[in-house]
Chain A
Amino acid sequence: MSTIALDRGARHGLALAWRGILKIRKNPEQLADVTLAPIVFLVMFTYLFGGALAGNTDAYLQMLVPGILVMNILQASMTAGVQLNTDVSKGVFDRFRSMPIARSAPLIGAVLADIVRYVVCIVVLLVVATVMGFRVQTGPAELLIAAGLAILFGLCFCWASVFVGMLLKTPQAVQGLMFVLIMPLTFGSNVFVGTSTMPGWLKAWADISPVSLLSDALRGLLNGGAIAGPLTGSLIWMVAVVAVFFPLAMWAYRKRV
């Protein structure tokens, strides 16, 4: 019985993921947010500050790309809440809920479609970075692991966005709040500059921030260098974020729909 339910949930989830992918294809501007913006940052920081910060732009680019990747995924993971909120406020959710489908199917669908979004973001970013001169110093296996870690990171943080998305009234409010939360999270990290020149309180946070730790892990994977420490740290963050936000998201979801 439970396998049948699971099978149904997965099948309905897949159908809804197909919908999510169709929507991405029809609204490529949604992806522009998470592809163009990082590219602008990549180009701007590399050529504007790269020389000053790292001596030359090539060295800076190698340091920056893994960090921008993390920032990119974090931003992409925030769309889930906005999308779900839009569905609820437009009444699309009520249609689904009035049908005999698994209650979790819309969530499964949203998360599966998110994976597609993450992959597109990663590919676009890496292509642009390569054109600019970025080179993976390790190998394809490390690259795949790095991409997998980035996707996992997105899948963990998207529950925070689902939680906010189910809590707030309008998609605009969700978008606004997520932006306010994400900006300090990405800039208060080692993505753009090393933490050594930051004031003590900021350095203390930036050194242990999930964005910094994953950026370091990805730098290790793509450029070579220490992996174990930052990887452990970022995995602890991911587990913690899921432990806190998954139950909250499910609670808010059940309350809202």
Chain B
Amino acid sequence: MALAIRAEGLVKHYGETKALDGVDLEVPEGRVVGVLGPNGAGKTTAVRVLATLLRPDAGHATVHGHDVVKDPRAVRSLIGLTGQYASVDEDLSGTENLVLLARLLDFSRAGAKARARELLEQFELTDAAGRAAKTYSGGMRRRLDLAASLVGNPSVLYLDEPTTGLDPHARNEVWAVVRKLVANGVTVLLTTQYLEEADQLADSITVFDHGRVVAQGRPDELKRRVGGQTLQVRPTSLRDLDSVYRILGDLTGARPTRDDDTGLLTAPVNDPVLLSTLVRKLDEAGITADELALRLPSLDEVFLALTGKQTEGSLA
């Protein structure tokens, strides 16, 4: 498959700090690659290099074959950038921001207005089109940011922590937009501290830590690599908690974790067949369960296993 983004051995130092310490990254055309990592892992630095905003100290990167250092203009005509660092003008209205960007992309006066209207409609901002961006809510603001990065119909989109600081509702809106873009064939490089976000949106995940790639793969591959499925049971009645605890312990030969508040019992398993055994045993004991599942480890657990530390997202 053709690659939209290819980076090899990217290095960027800030004094003693190695923001990027030899990063390789490949993003196939039309796919979403999630770059996952805690604050300071080098995610934003990588995006800035790939968006021609920062020269790497070593290594090189291309976007659709154009080198980000040697041919930045060609790269800039292909990309859109949304994120912590690429912002709209807060004093201008939604329309004015988009018209300005369209004019900078050589749209005619009328063409710029039409493009702005189209995008505002697409992002459900028509009602707020005439208001200054600083009056927008967090979610609206992020949608305007997204719209701003799409004015020139980029084929590659960088989303640098697009939902950081948003409430779940606004976050879901942004996710829906990203899915729609991907359905239209846009290639997306997404950075995030939220494992759930990478899991939801990305075809493939690259885990950064201290400027290095510590893991790479499909979300389920990563989860499997860390191994260990778990069996989860939540008995309908809290009174059954002790008996289920015993049954689960006998079955798996491990000591289950129990959460007395939610009534959830969790135990690691190696053999998926144990699920049906558990169902039978609970049935024999006359215990009903509200929740009964065999699941892969969460990405939080994956992250912990890969880097030996908790992510910011899971701490929050």
Contact = CB atoms under 8 A, between A and B. Distances in A.
Interface string B75-96: 0110111001111111110001
Given A94-B81, A100-B77, 8 more contacts: A23-B91, A26-B91, A26-B132, A91-B85, A92-B88, A94-B85, A95-B87, A105-B104
Contacts of B152: 99
Nearest to B52: A98
A16 B51 contact: no
Contact of B91 (A27, A94, A100): A27
Interface in A91-130: 91-92, 94-101, 105
Contact of A91 (B84, B100, B101): B84
Interface in B130-159: 132, 148-149, 152
Contact of A99 (B89, B90, B91, B104): B104
Main secondary structure of the interface of A (DSSP, over half): helix
A99 B80 CA distance: 8
Interface in B38-68: 48, 51-53
23 contacts: A11-B106, A15-B103, A16-B100, A19-B96, A22-B91, A22-B96, A23-B89, A26-B132, A90-B87, A90-B90, A91-B86, A94-B81, A94-B87, A95-B86, A95-B88, A95-B149, A96-B104, A97-B52, A98-B80, A98-B81, A98-B86, A99-B104, A100-B77
Nearest to A91: B87
A236 B67 CA distance: 45
Contacts of B103: 12, 15, 18
Contact of B87 (A15, A92, A100): A92
B293 interface: no
Interface residues of A, number: 23
B104 A12 contact: yes
Interface string A213-232: 00000000000000000000
B183 interface: no
B53 A99 contact: no
B73 interface: yes
B105 interface: yes
Contacts of A19: 89, 92, 96, 100
Nearest to B87: A91
Given A22-B92, A22-B96, A98 B101 contact: no
A20 to B, nearest CB: 10
Contacts of B105: 99-100
A96 B89 CA distance: 11
Interface of B: 48, 51-53, 73, 76-77, 79-81, 84-92, 96, 100-101, 103-106, 132, 148-149, 152
A99 B148 contact: no
A32 to B, nearest CB: 15
B100 A97 contact: no
Contact of B104 (A16, A26, A27, A94): A16
Nearest to B51: A98
A224 to B, nearest CB: 43
A76 to B, nearest CB: 18
A91 B82 CA distance: 10
Contacts of A92: 87-89
Contacts of A101: 104
A100 B76 contact: yes
Contacts of A95: 81, 86-88, 101, 148-149
B76 A98 contact: yes
Nearest to A14: B103
A99 B87 contact: no
Contacts of B91: 22-23, 26-27
A15 B100 contact: yes
B101 A99 contact: yes
Contacts of B106: 8, 11
A5 to B, nearest CB: 10
B100 A18 contact: yes
Contacts of B79: 98
Contacts of B52: 97-98
Shortest Cβ-Cβ A-B pairs, 3 listed: A91-B87, A15-B103, A100-B76
Nearest to B151: A99
Q: Which of A11, A90, A94, A101 has the most CB of B within 10 A?
A: A94
Contacts of B92: 19, 22-23, 26
Nearest to B81: A98
A94 B53 CA distance: 7
A113 to B, nearest CB: 12
Contacts of A96: 104
Contacts of A97: 52-53
A16 B105 CA distance: 12
Nearest to A23: B91
Nearest to B132: A26
Contact of A94 (B73, B86, B96, B101): B86
Contacts of A12: 103-104
Contacts of A91: 84-87
